[in-house]
Structure 1
Amino acid sequence: MLQILTGFGFLSGMSYPFRLLGVFKSHSRLLSYIIVPILLNFVIAIFLDVGLFLFGWELTQVLTDTIIQRLDLFLVNLPSWLGGLDYLIVVLGFLLRIIFGILLLVLTGFLLVQFGVILGAPWYGKLSEELEKITTGNVQVIEVGFMGDIWRAILFEIKKLVLIISLGFLLFFLNVLPGFGTLLSPMGGMILTGTILCLDFFDAPLERRRLKFREKLGIIWKSLPASAGFSLVCLFLIAIPFVNLLTIPFCVGGGTLFVCDRILQKGLLPSENQSFIPQ
């Protein structure tokens, strides 16, 4: 019954970023690991808001106006008794601006995560280690050396980029198809964005165990629907301007708590990594 009420883990997955508040309350020393990342997020956000957001907002206005103009030209050729559709066009223009604005906020927050997680990696990594130690009693690491760490980090970002580009093109062409294509494309975009966010926020504890990129993706799917709930709430938290400067560290920490509870303790690691599950 509890599984049904929580959406078979979906609602529980949504709770993990907020669970960090309880950890900070009992281990206030961990707050020192999010101060520098928050400052970095602030600097990054200034450049993104000034550059991407302002430019993107102007672009969305042009795109919306173009759509409305084409619809107006279409209505000119319709019978006069359909003149009431003009009001529908006004409403549609208003809705399009809201939709494009939300998508722009999500994109800006998504890029903030990508840059913020990379630049704040030393502090986030230490926070993740401390959270794992508190949650499981120890921290497991497979050592590969400094250069190995750098090389794996570069490969991780490249593989994420390949995933985004390849599926992004597929979703773009899917959007061209009338009917289902137009509906499935934004849904696919949300799933892709949520998957990338899970990769970013789950990465610290998984990378310490040196999992392959495909194995990390597999873990996200194995932990559904909880991972879907986690990615959805993170998507919401990173899309809120200014608030996301504070919430991104909570998503990173929440990702570690999620991995400890729902992956390490439940034995969802690949078989060769099972020895790194806390007993």
Structure 2
Amino acid sequence: MSASEPSKNHGAIQTGGLGGLVAGFSYPLRAIAFLQQTPRLAWYVLIPILINVIVGGTFYTWALSAGFNGIDGLMAGLPDWARFLELLLRGLLAIILLIATGLLLLQFGGILGSPLYGRLSEELEILRTGHKAEDVPGIGSIVRDIWRAILFELKKLVLVIGLGLPLFFVGWFPGIGTAIATVGSIGLGVTIVCLDFFDPALERRRLRFRDKLGWVRRSFPASATFGLVSLGLVSIPFVNLLAIPLCITAGTLFFCDRILPKLEPGDRN
């Protein structure tokens, strides 16, 4: 089946249970295959990666240089036998900065590449379904788009704090408390990841935040396994440079296959 004819099998993949679990895991692989079949979409992936590499590389080089200078000053005057401490500190600093840079890019890289990610998702939907999402009133308003994006991030923050804080305190109780906190934290992370990677397609319909959450829930268990594998990919520093556009692609394909066929025309804000 070609990339431009995927809509023919929408109904065939609306499975739940074990089939849904396996399907959720498979979407990053489907995304890789889809992008290989449609090389014209490569620019929407490569340009954000290039921007992130330049920004991340510049920050890492500057921070590493400043850190090494600080270590040199700290170690000045030590005897030769203690020089191994300098090498140890340099190595630790390099690793810590590598992880920190990756985490910073995960937080801000999506913002830098968001215009291209939105365009990537739109093009993917056209190829996957054979038609473009219908126009929604107000979709061309830059001010409204920015305001909705800010509200989306704020509501995610409220969700994280509202659920994260109780889980944090529950985790102080050994045994069952630790288990509940661990499972709950993973579940919260999976939910946030699903919201992020389904959002370009859901936002084109101007859905409310609660409706977006609802579709994550209604797509269970496939959304759980999709979110779990995506969370793992974006949690690896620098691997997430490739994982973010890949997961945007996977999330849009998931939306087209498992959410769009059930979405009512009036389900928008």
TM-score band, normalised by shorter chain: 0.7 to 0.9
Instruction: Give 1:129's match in structure 2, choosing from 119, 122, 133.
Output: 122
Q: Which secondary structure state, in structure 2, belongs to the residue aligned with residue 138 of structure 1?
A: coil
Determine what percentage of the aligned residue pairs are the same residue. Answer: 51
* Residues 1:38 and 2:49 are matched in the alignment: yes
Aligned equivalents of 1:49 and 1:184: distance in 2? 40
* Residues 1:198 and 2:194 are matched in the alignment: yes
* Residues 1:210 and 2:206 are matched in the alignment: yes
TM-superposed deviation, 1:41: 3.0
Greater shift after overlay, 41-50 or 134-143? 41-50
Q: Which secondary structure state, in structure 1, belongs to the residue aligned with residue 220 of structure 2?
A: coil
TM-superposed deviation, 1:43: 4.6
TM-superposed deviation, 1:257: 0.3
Instruction: Give 1:119's match in structure 2, choosing from 112, 117, 128.
Output: 112
Sort the Cα spacing of 1:5 and 1:172 in 2 relative to 1 into closer, same or farther, 3 A: closer
Query: Contact conserved, 2:16 with 2:221, CA < 8 A, in 1?
Result: no
Instruction: Give 1:142's match in structure 2, choosing from 124, 133, 136.
Output: 136
* Residues 1:272 and 2:266 are matched in the alignment: yes
TM-superposed deviation, 1:252: 0.7
Greater shift after overlay, 165-174 or 205-214? 165-174
Provide structure 1 residue ranges, at least 5 long, that are not aligned to the other structure: 52-100, 275-279
TM-score of the pair, normalised by structure 1? 0.71
Aligned residues: 220
Match of 1:168 in 2: 164
* Residues 1:29 and 2:40 are matched in the alignment: yes
TM-superposed deviation, 1:137: 1.1
TM-superposed deviation, 1:35: 1.5
* Residues 1:185 and 2:187 are matched in the alignment: no
* Residues 1:235 and 2:231 are matched in the alignment: yes
Sort the Cα spacing of 1:5 and 1:191 in 2 relative to 1 into closer, same or farther, 3 A: closer
1:15-164 equivalences under 5 Å are 15-43=26-54, 45-46=56-57, 47=59, 112-140=105-133, 141-144=135-138, 145-164=141-160
Aligned partner letter, 2:50: L
Aligned partner letter, 1:122: P
Aligned partner letter, 2:31: L
Aligned partner letter, 1:138: H
1:32-73 residue CA offsets vs partner (Å, 9 max, x unmatched)? 11112112332565558998xxxxxxxxxxxxxxxxxxxxxx
Aligned equivalents of 1:110 and 1:226: distance in 2? 26
TM-score of the pair, normalised by structure 2? 0.73
Sort the Cα spacing of 1:133 and 1:271 in 2 relative to 1 into closer, same or farther, 3 A: closer
Aligned equivalents of 2:160 and 2:256: distance in 1? 27
Match of 1:260 in 2: 256
Aligned equivalents of 1:5 and 1:208: distance in 2? 26
Aligned equivalents of 1:210 and 1:49: distance in 2? 41
CA RMSD of aligned residues (A): 3.0
Aligned equivalents of 2:156 and 2:113: distance in 1? 18
Query: Contact conserved, 1:16 with 1:230, CA < 8 A, in 2?
Result: yes
Aligned equivalents of 2:246 and 2:50: distance in 1? 14
Provide structure 2 residue ranges, at least 5 long, that are not aligned to the other structure: 1-12, 64-94
Q: Which secondary structure state, in structure 1, belongs to the residue aligned with residue 126 of structure 2?
A: helix
Aligned partner letter, 2:43: S
Query: Contact conserved, 1:44 with 1:115, CA < 8 A, in 2?
Result: no
